[in-house]
Chain A
Amino acid sequence: RKEVEQDPGPFNVPEGATVAFNCTYSNSASQSFFWYRQDCRKEPKLLMSVYSSGNEDGRFTAQLNRASQYISLLIRDSKLSDSATYLCVLIPSGTYKYIFGTGTRLKVLA
C-alpha cells in the first residue's frame, strides 16, 4: 500500500462550487501534514499546514482525522484560479522526509 494515496481526478466543478478532496495515509505515526498546490509545469507551493483541530484560511479548510488516517481539503466558492493539482504531504514521526501524494487535479469551469 502506498504511504499516501489521493484520487487523481480530475474534479471538474463550476465556478462558485464547493469541492473537497481526501488523502489517506498508511503510517499511523505520521506527525505533520500539509497541502501544497502545483500549477502546470511549476513548482509546488505551500497552500496550508493541517492541524489536528482543523484550520481555515479564507475559502480553504483543512481537516485531519487520525482515527481514520486521512486529511481533507475543502474549497468553498471555487474560482477559476483554483484550477491546479493539490498535493497531500506528510512527515512520518522521527524523520524529516516529506512524503508526497501523486496529487488531485482540480478544474474550475466558467
Chain B
Amino acid sequence: NAGVTQTPKFQVLKTGQSMTLQCAQDMNHNSMYWYRQDPGMGLRLIYYSASEGTTDKGEVPNGYNVSRLNKREFSLRLESAAPSQTSVYFCASRIERGNSPLHFGNGTRLTVT
C-alpha cells in the first residue's frame, strides 16, 4: 500500500521556469492538500481539495495553481517560479469522516535559483 506518493523528490529550477508537482493517493481519500514548509514557519496550506473537481485557496496560494482531475491525483503547478518558492512541499490526504488525520507524502524539495 503506497499511501501518498509525490514526484519528483528533488527539483532545481531557475527563476521564471515552470513545473508541476505531482501527488497521488491510493487510499480512496476524498480530501487532498498541498502544504509548504519553511524553517521557522511551520507547515502552511497552499490549496486544498475537498473532492474531485473542487479546489479552494489556503493561507499562501499566490504563485500557485492546482488541479484535481480525479479522486486519486492532485497536482500543484508553479507557472513562473520565484526564489521565494524555495521550500519543501508536502501533499496530504484524508478521508472525510469525523476528525480523521492527514496522511502525508514524502515531500518535494524545490530550490529556485
Contacts and interface: CB of A to CB of B under 8 A. Distances in A.
Q: Are A and B associated in one complex?
A: yes
Interface of A: 4, 8, 31-32, 34, 42-46, 49, 87, 89, 91, 96-98, 100-103
How large, as a class, is the contact surface on chain B? 20 to 34
29 contacts: A4-B42, A8-B40, A31-B99, A32-B99, A34-B101, A42-B106, A42-B107, A43-B90, A43-B104, A43-B106, A44-B43, A44-B90, A46-B101, A46-B102, A46-B103, A49-B99, A49-B101, A87-B42, A87-B43, A89-B102, A91-B99, A96-B31, A96-B48, A96-B94, A97-B48, A100-B42, A100-B43, A100-B44, A102-B41
Contacts of B110: none
B45 A98 contact: yes
Given A34-B101, A44-B104, A103-B42, 8 more contacts: A32-B99, A43-B90, A45-B104, A46-B102, A49-B101, A87-B42, A100-B35, A100-B42
